[in-house]
Amino acid sequence: MLSFLVRMILIVSVLPGSTFPQAPPAPETSPTGTVQEFWKCETGGKLPTTEGWYRSSRFFISLSPLSTPSAKVLHVIRNGRVDVVEELARTENWAEVSVTTDEVGQIDSRLHFEPAQRHGPHGVLLLKGPVLLFHVVRTEKHWDLNADGSRGKEQIGPPEWLIDCAQSELWIDLDVAIRYVNEMRAKSTDPHVSKNADLTLAKLKKLQ
């Protein structure tokens, strides 16, 4: 009788629902969560470097190597994480996510600052914008960048929501923009670039 009870206890202990300790499941990502984390990294100034671009590949299915940051137009937004991230459409494995920005202007490769247009057609006041769209896919596969910027091998893991392609231009907040212009000004030997930098810094500081 005792051996019978022991056998029954052993059988029950291995049935589904038993309380043996298990490893916690991997956290499930979401379309908006992925875009929010990427946007925080980008606007916080993590991307306009080779190392930052390499690290950001974790948000994407695949990324191409980053071209020289100084050759790009930098879009400047207000501080404070006031951008609105929304899911517009979704299927089982695909979603479209929008980011409504609050852009204050753009900085070109010669450190000239161009304020954002605040009036649309017929004098309509534009309170915020523009709106950026991201396509996000739930997938088991992705390709990280190697440390040298080349495309790495295919990686397979738990399904997660990843962005299918990067924006062609970079977005940074005011604090990052001021730091960037100061750094570029210190490196420049062109008097016109230095003058542009001084004017740009004065404008950016008024917008803080």
pLDDT tens string 156-200: 888 999 998 777 788 999 999 999 999 999 999 999 999 999 999
Give the integer Cα–Cα distance in Å for 159 and 163. 13
Closest by CA to 29, choosing from 165, 135, 161, 164, is 161
**pTM (2 d.p.):** 0.76
Closest by CA to 91, choosing from 18, 31, 172, is 31
pLDDT tens string 63-110: 766 544 444 789 999 987 778 999 999 999 999 999 999 999 999 999
| Contact of 101 with 95, CB cutoff 8 Å | no
Domain boundaries, the chain: 29-173
Closest by CA to 69, choosing from 47, 91, 96, is 47
pLDDT tens string 21-75: 433 334 567 999 999 999 998 898 876 666 777 777 788 888 766 544 444 789 9
Mean pLDDT for the chain?
79
